[in-house]
Amino acid sequence: MESLWLFRARNLVSQRGFFYVGYPIWKRNLRKQVGSQGARISFIWFFFVFYFFFFLFFFHFFLPLSTFFYRWVRPPPLFLLLFITTALVAQKPVKPNAADVHQAIKKLNVLGSVLYVAAHPDDENQRLISYCANEKLYKVTYLSLTRGDGGQNLIGPELRELLGVLRTEELLMARSVDGGTQRFSRANDFGYSKTPEETLRIWDRDSVLSDVAWAMRTQQPDVVINRFYHGDKYSTHGHHTSSAMLSVEAFDMAGRKDIYPEQLQYVDAWQPQRIFFNTSWWFYGSREAFDKADKTNLYPLDLGVYLPLKGKSNNELAAEARSMHRCQGFGSMSSRGESTDWFEFIKGDRPAEKDPFAGINTTWTRVEGGEKIGNLLAEVDRNYRSDNPAASVPELLKAMQMIKVLPEGYWKRVKLAEIKEVIRGCLGLYLEATAAERTATPGDAVKLRLEAVNRSDMDVQLAAIMVSSHLFDTIMGVSLQNNRVFEMNQSVVLPQDASYTAPYWLNGQATLGMYSVPNQELRGLPETPRFLNVKWSLTVNGVPLEYTTDVAYKLEEPARGEVWQPFDVLPPVFVELDQTTYLLTERSIEVKVRVRAGKDNVSGKAMLISPAGWPNAIAVGGNAFSFKRKGEEQTFTFTLQANSGPDQVEIGAGAQIGNLVYTFRMIPIQYDHIPYQSVLQPATAKASRVDVRTTARNIGYYMGAGDEGPAALRLIGCKVTMLEDADLNAEQLRPYDAVVIGIRAYNTKEGLKFHQDQLMKYVENGGTLVTQYNNSFDLVVDNPAPFPMKMSRTRVTDETAEMRFLLPNHPVLNTPNKITAKDFEGWVQERGLYFPSEWDPQMQAPLSSNDPGENPADGALLVANYGKGHYVYTGLSFFRELPAGVPGAYRLFANLISLGKMP
């Protein structure tokens, strides 16, 4: 049996770029593919010659359409996606109202660009983004260096890469509200960092810097605004300071052709005019201190303006955008009236007036030959009729033709994309492409429903339709009459090499600080471009126009009505292990592999992939599967013999179909505020050799924001009962050896304030209560502990920081497991967070730790006797360590829940 690392090595050469591999006959199968490809090439050449002469004859008689069709079939370069202002996610088609269209017309006459730079999702200033997009009508982009993978999650269990996907989608939804666009770098959010030195040591500094320069070159901002300061003047997150440092450095680099010259085959060098720091009273310590500060170098902006075409104040719109960051608990109340933000000038062309944007030419005169376009668009704006937007179309078509003949450049690309959407909005042109099913696999036939509706009196002709680079194309010649629905059903077959739908940055082998994205054109994009789309070729008053829509899926739900989801291309089969972590407490363990069909009529064999050097896993009762329908699943049991070797290894699941083995699981991310996400990840799990004992067997678990604690406790032999608010009664809790409160429960569960006295009574009567970390603000009770305790934001971010035993004889360090320094080896991301800073003497602190150069933090674990029972409060990151299979974390947690069952 091949080792797991070899599977991964082969993944890197997979054309699909995911965990798709050929198994024992991989090389032979590859030679077969090359041979069959040669046959296909001959076949393609035959049809190429045939169609060449056919179209030459055809276009001789249909010359007006030939020029148009030639332009239409040429696929745009991928780098053009970098300039498109709409989100790439397949959602319900946008239906702008007359006010939206009018604002878009006004925006056509503004050629200004702003780049806002920070480190994470939710760092951005939505008020400024909305102000720039909706008041100033600039093209504004938020560059978040990370996707927030290292944060916490208040609404579900997603952490690390899955959290990064969730937060990416939340950012896109925020931008859909405030009018901005979104970009990223390849930096991986590895967790809280206290210094920029640490951050830039873990990130690949030059790679992230090149990504910031890439963003400046692709977005061509006139003004760059950093959310954070670029030096040690203010104390903040290391990622925050690093984002500003790299932005200031890239400001001086982006305009130089000798720096990152490999980017210049796609974009031009670009020098922004000026760069600011978006300061506030917070950086000065208090409002009073800020009021007294010298503001000579500060530039104010009133962001609280009213937006008549939106019917809202800018602050109201920004609050809606910020409230999209639900997994971080950033729902915001709306406000109205004046609201001043301040901007500290850093370098560049200093404004002559107290306005960060003063003196920047944002008219069409900045483009050679553009002045007449600006005059025409101003006339369109003046003559716009909200009761008949289509009346503006003839002049808009004229402006579009004028833009097309301009020299190639950034604003030509941006404004061509914008004016096409404005024309579409004026026409009330609705274009929809939906699939009959939400998913398909390479080689499948996909049934499409295409719909086009022109809701105007303009002459609109549907000339041709093409699906994803000629999977299907046809010349239509259909007149789209006012409000008459054109509908067409068409089946297309996905090619065998169709790329799977999944986040592109998870494609390669990531490091602690970086994602691997070899393709320069993909870098920075918020999402992977969809494989299946429809290109609509139309003429409006005889002028050719092209629109591309991603294929989506929609369904009717009784409680929600019409629901839209992305259409995904996925593998024919998924595999999944029954646990994310296995504890090797015996010589052999039983592992279950679940196989699920991703298509109809699929059969093969389930596999358990052993670590290198271990004996082959033995299937109990066979491993063959045969599914008739998509969605069917079957679970197989394997016996894995543990070999001598490291205390932690990795095992994997696979499904062999013919000569190929599929080794990934599909993880859905489904929330009402973002589009449905299908994430492919390797079906692997940690197997840890652990000598762990527990005297507590019956555990009650009250879930907070979401963690995998219950599954971890079951691994060490505990019976776990999930508790609800109605169960939090001292008498009902009496049978439990221990009750565990999940992470951030006191931040997220309002019911706890009504049941806190019952929890304390449970402890007083002899129970053991283990409370995991909470944030220091937004607590639903004044104090979760039975004795005075002051919460703080103290944390130890270095996962290798020394753990000192202040009370080496304390029961939690000795019974039933003897805890030693070895138990704190192999921890991930951090030691812990939000440690209490002060506590009553009746609470004991057996452990101490700190990051390098800092004072000891002794509040990681607090234990108290209360009545007949035991109370524990811990900020140690068990919610990260237990799913990661860290042996010492299991041993220590077992001691915590066993306090009431000491021998």
Lowest mean pLDDT among 159-163, 289-293, 641-645, 667-671: 641-645
Residues 719-738: tens digit of each pLDDT = 999 999 999 999 999 999 99
Is the pLDDT at 58 greater than 70, yes or no? Answer: no
Query: Which bin fits 898, alpha (ψ -120 to 50), beta or left (φ > 0)?
Result: alpha
CB 389 within 8 A of CB 360: no
pLDDT grade for 825, boundaries at 50, 70 and 90 = very high
Task: Compute, in degrees rounded to 10, the torsion defined by CA atoms 716, 721, 723, 727.
Answer: -130
Give DSSP secondary structure letters for 545-613.
EEEEEE-EEEEEETTTEEEEEE-EE--SEEEEES-SEEE--SSEEEEEEEEEESSSSEEEEEEEEPPTT
Sign of the CA dihedral running 840, 846, 851, 852 = positive
Please name which of 711, 765, 740 lies closest in space to residue 579, comparing C-alpha atoms: 711
Average pLDDT over residues 774-794: 93
Structure tokens at 497: 């090499």
For residue 527, the 8-state DSSP code is S
pLDDT grade for 50, boundaries at 50, 70 and 90 = very low
pLDDT grade for 640, boundaries at 50, 70 and 90 = confident
Please name which of 528, 486, 525, 537 lies closest in space to residue 507, comparing C-alpha atoms: 528
The three state secondary structure string of 660-702 is EEECEEEEEECCCCCCCEEEEEECEEEEECCCCCCCCCEEEEE
Residues 200-214: tens digit of each pLDDT = 999 999 999 999 999
Lowest mean pLDDT among 224-233, 343-352, 465-474, 817-826: 465-474
Average pLDDT over residues 768-797: 94
Residues 79-129: tens digit of each pLDDT = 444 444 444 444 678 899 999 999 999 999 999 999 999 999 999 999 999
Query: N- to C-terminal Cα distance for the chain?
Result: 46
User: How far out from the chain centre does Cα 25 lie?
Assistant: 36
Task: Compute, in degrees rounded to 10, the torsion defined by CA atoms 76, 77, 80, 86.
Answer: 60
Structure tokens at 101: 């269209």
Spatial separation of the C-alpha atoms in residues 738 and 812, rounded to whole Å: 14
Q: How many CB atoms lie within 10 A of CB 614?
A: 19
Average pLDDT over residues 166-170: 97
Mean model confidence pLDDT for the chain: 89
Structure tokens at 545: 């126009």
Between 37 and 191, name the one with better pLDDT.
191
pLDDT computed for residue 379 by the predictor:
98
Structure tokens at 1: 């049996």
Residues 831-865: tens digit of each pLDDT = 999 999 999 999 999 999 999 989 999 999 999 99
Tell me the C-alpha to C-alpha distance, in Å, between residue 133 and each of 84, 359, 433, 624: 15, 18, 29, 57
Residues 394-432: tens digit of each pLDDT = 999 999 999 999 999 999 999 999 999 999 999 999 999
Average pLDDT over residues 639-662: 87
Structure tokens at 755: 């049941």
CB 592 within 8 A of CB 637: yes
Give DSSP secondary structure letters for 275-312.
EEEEE-GGGGTSHHHHHHS--TTEEEEE---EETTTTE
Average pLDDT over residues 154-177: 95
Spatial separation of the C-alpha atoms in residues 430 and 455, rounded to whole Å: 8
Give DSSP secondary structure letters for 15-72.
TT-SSEEE-TTHHHHHHHHHHHHHHHHHHHHHHHHHHHHHHHHHHHH-HHHHHHHHHH
Residues 613-625: tens digit of each pLDDT = 778 888 998 899 9
Residue type, 75: P
pLDDT computed for residue 253 by the predictor:
97
Omega of the bond leading into 816 within 30 degrees of 0 (cis): yes
For residue 341, the 8-state DSSP code is E
Spatial separation of the C-alpha atoms in residues 333 and 805, rounded to whole Å: 45
CB 529 within 8 A of CB 188: no
H or E element: which one contains 398? helix 393-404
Sign of the CA dihedral running 712, 714, 718, 724 = positive
Phi, psi of 475 (to 5 degrees): -90, 125
pLDDT computed for residue 35 by the predictor:
36
Q: Rg (Cα) of the chain, in Å, rounded?
A: 30
Q: On the CB side of 773, how many CA atoms lie within 13 Å of its CA?
A: 24
Phi, psi of 720 (to 5 degrees): -115, 130
Is the pLDDT at 23 greater than 70, yes or no? Answer: no
Residues 245-265: tens digit of each pLDDT = 999 999 999 999 999 999 999
Give the residues across from 594 on adjacent strands. 576, 635
Is the pLDDT at 65 greater than 50, yes or no? Answer: no
